[in-house]
Each structure stands twice: as structure tokens, then as C-alpha cells.
């Protein structure tokens, strides 16, 4: 009821209440001064003399208070500057009282006027502070509020505690600080405790949230404190300093998300689309696997080239829905038709229909199952999609007479040891064979391959995995302490894929400059450190996150290669090379596809794996022999 009454008061009414309170305090201060002067309660004669004095003093007090704006100051904003206004009003009022007592009515002696001034100032300040606490208590009793503990009793912590005092729904109950000098003292009305008491304080005070108010603390140290608090089941937040909030100091970016590209330790490839836009402008472009990491970025990059039509072929309804919505938003105001096609590259009739109905001129084939452990566990599905799916879309694209067909491949296709790499190598053979047949038959279709390594930040790549493991408290898992991989950002890779597609003449295997291979153990350390933690190992037993070695998984290699041979031919683009790998015969490719189809028809994963690896090894031997002769 009291809360409702307070809320029902208008701002003007609240000002009048404060003004009336001050006027009442003038009379009370005058009485206190008289008692102090006479050392006894004054008699009736004094009260009769006080009436005319108050008749002059009260209107003066009201005028001074209104002039200084004291009634307009909210209780929760009543602090040092507001107290100085009250002090000024007190001095003015004391001067008026002294003048009255000297010239007209000797109600108080000079000493009594001083007592009046002191009493009035103390009463004014005290009643406002008491009234504020009373109102806060009323609100807290009727509203749920959060009990917080502040970690750090320095300048930022003290300012935070003072700011929270006026908050209706947050109550700061204590400080914790590493500084032994502060421990046991009282700061902003709160006791400062040692960190060793943290667990007890959390339970004893029913703390719901801990605010780390030490902006100068290093991110790893902040992370250690936050982890300890989070393990106790309490929410934790870090706050910047007040000087940082108002711009007097630069806000630290240590807690901001770290871009994957910054973890490579090398400069990012800057290959803008200028110069290759015309190759895709006004074209009807189909992107298979349009909802995947590479496929979706290819869509965005192609859209910048102003194609006439963008055909999105995607097996996943959810992924297709997302990329279709995104591209339609990006394409607003552009003369580009977005066509979502829900389907798979293994469906020959659907692929043929899409190519013909939308008059596709350029195909970027990015659809593939790429997660090594999953394909090792699903051999039949992996090879059917990656090999036969590639054969289907490549053959239908050639029959339709597309201008260009670019296969997005991987470094795992070089000397593969697992099913995923084998499937991509066989896909490369299929596309290479299609390129040679088109050239032999005099068709204008150009088929080429672009091969590169891992893409940072893509689904299933190591950095998102590491971050998920760190968020769970670790450990971060590595398959081998010495394993290395090539890495490139998705933006780099897709721009170079499009660039390679414009320079292709037919049958080339383009290899992107991936820089030096990155040691995964070093990458894991960088991800842990940029997340604000430290690695726990023999050298640092008190670190935050462990790194665990799990062993190489089936189908994985210790080190990847980008080409069978050591020599790579140069192109007009310094970041794109050509793998000098001898071609294999059309007969061998046909036999490999025929054998693989027969094996897939049995549904026996062991037979399918053995058949795929057999043809890959045969091809590797042939390529090595032919490369030596070349």
C-alpha cells in the first residue's frame, strides 16, 4: 500500500513534500538552538517571540530553497553537490536569522544562530538519507531484487557500489579484494573480504551475481576468477571502469570476440573481386551445397558480381531456408533472381531439370560430405554423394553445355588415407575426365578443379570445436601433438575459387596459396589464450584449460599435402598455382565408376571402402610414374 501511495504522487507533489519537510526542519532547528542556548526547554514567552521570527524565516527558507532548486533534487541523486546546495541555503538562512535577532527580536544570541545553522544542515541531510533508505526498503520488500557481490574494492568497485545503492532491484552486500590492505575495512558502506572467504559469502548472503570490478586485471586472471565463481553456480560479469564508460580511457578489447583470421599468424589474402566480376555478371549461376560454409560464402560473393540468376541447390531444408532468406535480403534492389532448389546432386533428373529450367551457365560444385570421422562411419553415403553425385552433376552440366564448371576440392584428396580424401580424389578424376572429353568433342564447356585446405570457422572445423570445449571448461582435444594443417579463411578461399574459375581453360587443378601449415597444438594454445584462459600443463599446473591428446582418427593424416608432386605452376594470380599432375585415361575413370557403383549396390561398407582405395592407389601409382617421365 505504501509503495502504491508513493508511486501515485506526482513530481510536483513530491517537490512540495520535500519543501514542507525542510520548512518543518527550520522550526525544529530553531527549537534545538533555543534548548542548547538555555540548557532547558524554552517557556511560553519564547514561543510567543518565535512566531513573528518564523513568519519571516519560513517564507525566506522557501524562497531560498526554490531558488537553489533543492526540492527538485531526487532522493537517489542527493550526494555531495546536492549537500553543498543545502549548506548554501543554511548559510543564507542563518544570516537572515542573525539579522532578525540583531535588529528586531533578540530570540537567539550569536552562538545560538550558529547552533541553528548546524542543526538545520544536519537535519536536512540526515532526513533525506533516512527517507531514501526507507523508500528503498519499501520497494525491496515488494519487488524481487538481486543480491550481488563486488569483486574489487578499488575506484571502480567503490563507484559501482555507490551507484547500486540507488537501484531498486539490486543490492550490493559485500566486497572481495586481493589487496590485504583493504581486507577488513569498510568501503562505500560494505565490508571488504579476502578471496578465501568467497565461497562462504556466496552461500551465506545468497549471492545471485558477482560483478568483477577490476578493469586493469589481465584477461587470464579475470577468467580464472570467473571460472571459480561460475563453478559455484553463480552468474559472473566483468564491468569496465567508469572512466572507460565515459570515454576518458580506451575500453579494452580483450573480451571482444577474436576473429579466426587473427589466429593464423600470417597476413590474410586480400583478393578483391575487382577484375573478375565481369565473368559472372549477368550469368545464371548454380551453386551446389549452397547452404554449407563454402557454398553460402560463394553465394554472397557471386551476388556481389550481379548475376542474372542465382540457383541454390541444397539438400538440407534448414540450410537452404537460411541462405535463401539471407540472399533475398542482400539482393533487394538488385536485378537478380534467387531460386532455391531443395534436392541432391545424386538425383540426375532433378539436376537436369534445374540446369535446363533455369538455363544455368556457370556451376560451382561445393556440395560434399566433408567430416572425416562421419564419412569413415558412413562409407556408402559418403562415396555415393561425393563421387557419384559429382559424376551426375558434371555429366549433366556437360550435356547442358554450361560455360564453366568448378569443383571445390580439398587437400585431403592428395595421397588420401581415408574415405573422405579418397572420395574427393575420385571426384577430381571425374571432373578432369569430363574436361578432357569436352575438349576432345569440341564443346565450349570448361571444367576445372580448385583445391585448398581447411577453412577457419566453418562447421566442424577446429576453432569452433575448441571454443565449445573451452566453454565447457575443457579439455581441448588434439589427435596428435605434431599434427599440422593448412588453413584459410572462408572469404579468402571463395574469392580465389571465383578468380581461378575465370582463368581456367579446362582440366586444370588449381591449388590455393595456403601459407605455411599450422601446428594444431599451437593453434589450440592461441584459441585458449585469446579466450582469456591459460593452458594447464606441466609448466603451468595452475592453468585453466587442459590439452588432451586423443590419437589420430581413422582417415586422418599427420600432415596434409596440396599436390602429389613438389612443383606447382604459377598463374597470373600470385595466390593461385596449378598442380602439374599427369592425366589418367577416360577408360580408367569409367572402370573406376563402374566398379564403385557395383560395390555401392551391395551396401557393404568394407567392400565399398576397399574398392575406392584400390582405384585411388592405382591412380596414384600411374600419376607418379607419368609425373617422373614428364
Phi/psi of residue 599, each to 5°? -65, -40
pLDDT of residue 78: 64
pLDDT of residue 625: 60
Q: How far apart are CA 359 and CA 351, in angstroms?
A: 12
The three grid cell numbers given for residue 212, joined into one nine-digit string? 568483477
Q: Report how far apart, in Å, the C-alpha atoms of 191 and of each of 194, 222, 236, 621 are.
A: 10, 22, 20, 77
Per residue in 539-591, pLDDT (tens digit) is: 888 888 888 888 887 767 777 666 766 567 888 888 888 887 767 788 889 99
User: Are 223 and 532 in contact, with CB atoms under 8 Å apart?
Assistant: yes
pLDDT of residue 169: 74
Proportion of the chain in helix, strand, coil states, percent, rounded to 5? 55, 15, 30
Q: Report how far apart, in Å, the C-alpha atoms of 131 and of each of 5, 6, 159, 616 are.
A: 15, 12, 22, 85
CA angle 340, 412, 516 (to 5 degrees): 105
Size of the chain in residues: 630
Phi/psi of residue 572, each to 5°? -65, -20
pLDDT of residue 94: 80
Give the active site residue among 15, 370, 412, 575: 412
Per residue in 219-274, pLDDT (tens digit) is: 556 766 777 787 787 888 877 654 444 444 443 333 333 344 444 444 444 444 55
| Same-fold call for 146-245 versus 277-449+496-509+566-629 | yes
Cα 67 off chain centre by: 51
CA angle 543, 546, 547 (to 5 degrees): 135
User: Are 512 and 452 in contact, with CB atoms under 8 Å apart?
Assistant: yes
pLDDT of residue 539: 83
pLDDT of residue 250: 40
Q: How far apart are CA 174 and CA 170, in angstroms?
A: 13
Q: Which residue from 297, 320, 517, 326 is spatially nearest to 408, judged by alpha carbons?
A: 297
Q: Which residue from 358, 354, 382, 387 is spatially nearest to 370, judged by alpha carbons?
A: 382
User: Are 546 and 474 in contact, with CB atoms under 8 Å apart?
Assistant: yes
**Which of 454-486 are b and which e, b meaning 16 or more Cβ less than 10 Å from the residue's Cβ?**
bbbbbeebbbeebbebbeeebbbbbebeebbbb
The mean predicted confidence, pLDDT, of the chain is: 81
Q: How far apart are CA 362 and CA 366, in angstroms?
A: 13
- DSSP codes joined into one string, 354-374: HHHHTT--EEEE------HHH
Per residue in 432-478, pLDDT (tens digit) is: 999 999 998 888 899 999 988 777 656 556 777 887 888 777 788 88
Q: Where are the domains of the chain?
A: 2-141, 146-245, 277-449+496-509+566-629
CATH class of 277-449+496-509+566-629: alpha beta
Q: How far apart are CA 273 and CA 303, in angstroms?
A: 11
Phi/psi of residue 409, each to 5°? -115, -170
Total Cβ atoms within 10 A of residue 2: 13
Q: What is the CA radius of gyration of the chain?
A: 39
Residue 519 is a catalytic residue? no
User: Are 202 and 149 in contact, with CB atoms under 8 Å apart?
Assistant: yes
Per the listing, cell 526542519 goes with: 25
pLDDT of residue 360: 96
Per the listing, cell 596449378 goes with: 578
Per the listing, cell 541523486 goes with: 77
Q: How far apart are CA 227 and CA 196, in angstroms?
A: 15
Write down the CATH superfamily of domain 146-245: NAD(P)-binding Rossmann-like Domain (3.40.50.720)
Q: 190-193 and 235-238 as β-strands: parallel, antiparallel, unpaired?
A: unpaired
Q: In 563-604, which residue ranges form alpha helices assigned H by DSSP?
A: 586-602
Cα atoms in the Cβ-side hemisphere of radius 13 Å centred on 193: 16
pLDDT of residue 249: 44
Q: How far apart are CA 213 and CA 152, in angstroms?
A: 5
pLDDT of residue 5: 59
Q: How far apart are CA 251 and CA 240, in angstroms?
A: 7
Q: How far apart are CA 581 and CA 569, in angstroms?
A: 10
**Which of 55-71 are b and which e, b meaning 16 or more Cβ less than 10 Å from the residue's Cβ?**
eebbebbbebbeebebb
pLDDT < 50: residue spans in the chain: 142, 242-272, 630
Amino acid at each position: 500500500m505504501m509503495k502504491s501511495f508513493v508511486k501515485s504522487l506526482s513530481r510536483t507533489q513530491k517537490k512540495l513534500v520535500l519543501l514542507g519537510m525542510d520548512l518543518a526542519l527550520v522550526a525544529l532547528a530553531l527549537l534545538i538552538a533555543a534548548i542548547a542556548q538555555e540548557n532547558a526547554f524554552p517557556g511560553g514567552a519564547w514561543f510567543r517571540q518565535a512566531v513573528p521570527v518564523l513568519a519571516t524565516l519560513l517564507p525566506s527558507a522557501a524562497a531560498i530553497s526554490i531558488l537553489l532548486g533543492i526540492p527538485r533534487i531526487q532522493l537517489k541523486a542527493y550526494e555531495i553537490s546536492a549537500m553543498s546546495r543545502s549548506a548554501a541555503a543554511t548559510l543564507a538562512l542563518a544570516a537572515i536569522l542573525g539579522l532578525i535577532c540583531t535588529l528586531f527580536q533578540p530570540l537567539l544570541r550569536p552562538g545560538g544562530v550558529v547552533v541553528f545553522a548546524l542543526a538545520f544542515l544536519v537535519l536536512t541531510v540526515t532526513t533525506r538519507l533516512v527517507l531514501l533508505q526507507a523508500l528503498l526498503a519499501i520497494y525491496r520488500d515488494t519487488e524481487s531484487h538481486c543480491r550481488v557481490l563486488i569483486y574489487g574494492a578499488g575506484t571502480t568497485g567503490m563507484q559501482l557500489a555507490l551507484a547500486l545503492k540507488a537501484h531498486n532491484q539490486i543490492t550490493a552486500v559485500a566486497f572481495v579484494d586481493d589487496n590485504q590492505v583493504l581486507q577488513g575495512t569498510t568501503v562505500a558502506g560494505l565490508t571488504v573480504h579476502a578471496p578465501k572467504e568467497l565461497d562462504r559469502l556466496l552461500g551465506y548472503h545468497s549471492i545471485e551475481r558477482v560483478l568483477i570490478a577490476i578493469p586493469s586485471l589481465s584477461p587470464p586472471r579475470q577468467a580464472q576468477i570467473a571460472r571459480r565463481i561460475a563453478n559455484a553456480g553463480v552468474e559472473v560479469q566483468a564491468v569496465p571502469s567508469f572512466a572507460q564508460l565515459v570515454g576518458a580511457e580506451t575500453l579494452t578489447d580483450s573480451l571482444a570476440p577474436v576473429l579466426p583470421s587473427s589466429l593464423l599468424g600470417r597476413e590474410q589474402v586480400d583478393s578483391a573481386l575487382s577484375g573478375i566480376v565481369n565473368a559472372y555478371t549477368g550469368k545464371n549461376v548454380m551453386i551446389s551445397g549452397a547452404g554449407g560454409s563454402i557454398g553460402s560464402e560463394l553465394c554472397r560473393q557471386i551476388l556481389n558480381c550481379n548475376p542474372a540468376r542465382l540457383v541454390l541447390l541444397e539438400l538440407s531444408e534448414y540450410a537452404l531456408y537460411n541462405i535463401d532468406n539471407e540472399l533475398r535480403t542482400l539482393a533487394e534492389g538488385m536485378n537478380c533472381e534467387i531460386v532455391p532448389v531443395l534436392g541432391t546432386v545424386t538425383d540426375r533428373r532433378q539436376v537436369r531439370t534445374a540446369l535446363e529450367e533455369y538455363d544455368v551457365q556457370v556451376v560451382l560444385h561445393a556440395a560434399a560430405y566433408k567430416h572425416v570421422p562421419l564419412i569413415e562411419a558412413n562409407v556408402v553415403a559418403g562415396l555415393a554423394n561425393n563421387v557419384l553425385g559429382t559424376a551426375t552433376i558434371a555429366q549433366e552440366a556437360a550435356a547442358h553445355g554450361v560455360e564453366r564448371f568448378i569443383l571445390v576440392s580439398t587437400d585431403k584428396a592428395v595421397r588420401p588415407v581415408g574415405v573422405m580424401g579418397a572420395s574427393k580424389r575420385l571426384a577430381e578424376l571425374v571432373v578432369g575426365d569430363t574436361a578432357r572429353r569436352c575438349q576432345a568433342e569440341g564443346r565450349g564447356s570448361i571444367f576445372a578443379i580448385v583445391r585448398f585446405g581447411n577453412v577457419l570457422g566453418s562447421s566442424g572445423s577446429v576453432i569452433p570445436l575448441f571454443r565449445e570445449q573451452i566453454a565447457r571448461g575443457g579439455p581441448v582435444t588434439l589427435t596428435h601433438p605434431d599434427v599440422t594443417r593448412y588453413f584459410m579463411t572462408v572469404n579468402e578461399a571463395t574469392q580465389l575459387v571465383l578468380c581461378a574459375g575465370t582463368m581456367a581453360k579446362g582440366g586444370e587443378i588449381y591449388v590455393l596459396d595456403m601459407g605455411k601449415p599450422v601446428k594444431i597444438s599451437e593453434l589450440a594454445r592461441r584459441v585458449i589464450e585469446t579466450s582469456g584462459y591459460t593452458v594447464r600443463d606441466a609448466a603451468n599446473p595452475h592453468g585453466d584449460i587442459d590439452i588432451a591428446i586423443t590419437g589420430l582418427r581413422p582417415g586422418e593424416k599427420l600432415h596434409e599435402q596440396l599436390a602429389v608432386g613438389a612443383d606447382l605452376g604459377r598463374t597470373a594470380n600470385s595466390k593461385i598455382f596449378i598442380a602439374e599432375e599427369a592425366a589418367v585415361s577416360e577408360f580408367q575413370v569409367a572402370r573406376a565408376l563402374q566398379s564403385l557403383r557395383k560395390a555401392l549396390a551391395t551396401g557393404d561398407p568394407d567392400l565399398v571402402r576397399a574398392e575406392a582405395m584400390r582405384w585411388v592407389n592405382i591412380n596414384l601409382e600411374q600419376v607418379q610414374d607419368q609425373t617422373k617421365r614428364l
